[in-house]
Amino acid sequence: MKLFSEHLSKHTTFKVGGPADVLLIPETLEELFKEIEYCRANNTSFRVLGNGSNILVSDDGVRGYVIKLNKCCNHITLTNQNQIRVGAGVSLQSFIKFSIKNNLYGNEFLSSVPGTIGGAIFMNAGTWVDKNLYVSDFLTHVKYFDGSEIKTLTKDECSFSYRSSIFHKHEDWIILEACFNLPFQPSEVGEEKRKQRLEWSILYQDIKYPNAGSIFCQGNGRVFNLLKGIKWKNVGWSEKTGNWINIYGTSSSRDIYFLIKVGKLLHYLFLKKVKTEIRIWN
């Protein structure tokens, strides 16, 4: 399916962002590969969008193709007692529930993250540094499409680090599938962990407003406390959750970016240079 001039505000958790020239939602891998071949032959740019939970899209939108994999990469399979193959378009919630149902450790600490497997691998999603838990912990390999053929990378070859992977250096590579070898865990234990994480999220995260989770990667806690409650028009730094920006009404990516610049400036005054954890699409 192709949607022309589709506003990406409908496809991101920030609920802002202008149109993509083409939003492609391929039904099959064959359709995906055919469209990528077209883009390469016509020098047309393309990007992959998961659940849009870590993206700030420009008000002017983006040129070229934006591709969603939720239909062509939506498989999830138990291949033996503890191995799961899962498509990049599968939501983290579905992956966690499937793992728990099959008496396997389900990365329950990610239960509050509204992303997809592909996006989680791209960012090496996880907890903050001191907890040291990542989606890649029990990953064995990743299949991806490099524009010409399907290839496989082992976990070590993915160069995972805090909120990063080899795919940051090769954004034209499209993650298709991941394979996990997960340790045994009684389903009731996994379900309890999942519920505890969701309860924690309700208590400590400002989830009732549109947001994209953490803005900065490894920022300064004192700065985040100073930023709390600072507002500009209908956006503001969360009063509840450090390092989050919330949307309180009709807004724009321009307003969000202004608050991000305020956060960068305040970090600079504390002698710390920070980079954004969210991806900014211009």
| Contact predicate 234/248, CB 8 Å | yes
| Contact predicate 21/4, CB 8 Å | yes
The set of catalytic residues is: 163, 214, 277
Q: Facing residues of 203 across strands?
A: none
| Contact predicate 88/121, CB 8 Å | yes
Dihedral sign, CA of 180, 183, 188, 192?
negative
Q: How far is CA 266 from CA 244, 253, 262, 272, in A?
A: 15, 20, 6, 9
Q: How many CB atoms lie within 10 A of CB 271?
A: 7
Q: How many CB atoms lie within 10 A of CB 85?
A: 16
Token pair 């234990």 in the structure block, residue? 189
Rounded CA gap, 281 and 257, in Å? 11
